[in-house]
Amino acid sequence: MSQSTMTLPRPRPHGLRFPSLTRERVFAVVSPVALLVIWEILSRTGVLDPRIFSRPSAVVQLMATMLVSGQLATDTGVTLARLFVGSIVGTIPGLLIGLTIGLFRTPRAVINPLVSATYGLPRVALFPLVLLIVGLNETSNIIMIALGPFFTMLIATAAAVGNVEPIYLKVARSFKVNTRDLYLKVVLPAALPIIFSAFRVSLGLALLGVVAVEFLMTNNGLGYLIWHSWQILSLGQSMVGLVTTGVIAYLLFILLDQAERRALPWVERT
């Protein structure tokens, strides 16, 4: 961009830049590390009972053993697969139905009462019903995981589409855009930031769903590892499952942040 006498917009970052050490970035590392160090000290000095709160160093050791044995990788793989499939199975229909009822009055009139009737139910309460209909198998697992993302995407998308700034619609109408362009070039992009936020929430709910399903229904995956190990009082292993799940969640949301920045470069961020 060449200079002009007008105020220039902030240059867009390109390539890798060395991040400056802001307070937020420093404590993003320092806070959790400090917590782990305190934890380690407390259990070594006997303030915390190591039989209940396994030491961080012991958890890391156990994690290494489980990695070598392949057990942890297997459980992680199973959990990730369920998370992935469950998210897609919930998100995509939720998004499509949400768009439809956000845009068109008749589908909205038909579907809204059904959504209101079922959305209020705690989703775990639907598990027996799903099992009854589908049977106890991987399909029912996926459906139960997908329920959270499905409802979240449906409701948020419909609201996002229905609440697009009126001035955008007015501009579009004044230029007499056809219906297809109105939806694809105006309504959808205008709603996209909220849809993306809904996707973020959906992913969190899918992770919750995976762990819940693995607690209750399966004999593999990280949720099973956490719950089963706890039941046989193998607290270290339970802790390894918990830490691995935490790491997955953390990486997932970093990835999502990056994806959002790429997908919505025009959104103002603080």
- Kindly tell me which residue out of 13, 120, 262, 266 binds another protein, with binding defined by CB under 8 A: 266
Q: Rule CB under 8 A: is residue 184 a binding residue for another protein?
A: no
Min. distance of Cβ 183 from another protein in angstroms? 13
Q: Which stretch binds another protein (CB under 8 A): 18-26, 160-168, 200-208, 232-240?
A: 160-168
Min. distance of Cβ 186 from another protein in angstroms? 7
Q: Rule CB under 8 A: is residue 163 a binding residue for another protein?
A: no
Q: Report the residue number, 20 or 178, with the smaller CB distance to another protein.
A: 178
Q: Rule CB under 8 A: is residue 192 a binding residue for another protein?
A: yes
Min. distance of Cβ 95 from another protein in angstroms? 18
- Kindly tell me which residue out of 97, 186, 207, 226 binds another protein, with binding defined by CB under 8 A: 186
- Kindly tell me which residue out of 44, 173, 251, 255 binds another protein, with binding defined by CB under 8 A: 173
Min. distance of Cβ 256 from another protein in angstroms? 19
HEC assignment per residue over the chain? CCCCCCCCCCCCCCCCCCCCCCHHHHHHHHHHHHHHHHHHHHHHCCCCCCCCCCCHHHHHHHHHHHHHHCHHHHHHHHHHHHHHHHHHHHHHHHHHHHHHHHHCHHHHHHHHHHHHHHHCCCHHHHHHHHHHHHCCCHHHHHHHHHHHHHHHHHHHHHHHHHCCCHHHHHHHHHCCCCHHHHHHHHHHHHHHHHHHHHHHHHHHHHHHHHHHHHHHCCCCCHHHHHHHHHHCCCHHHHHHHHHHHHHHHHHHHHHHHHHHHHHCCCCCCC
Q: Rule CB under 8 A: is residue 270 a binding residue for another protein?
A: no
Contact footprint for another protein (CB under 8 A): 1-2, 4, 6-7, 9-10, 165, 167-168, 170-178, 181, 185-186, 189-190, 192, 264-268
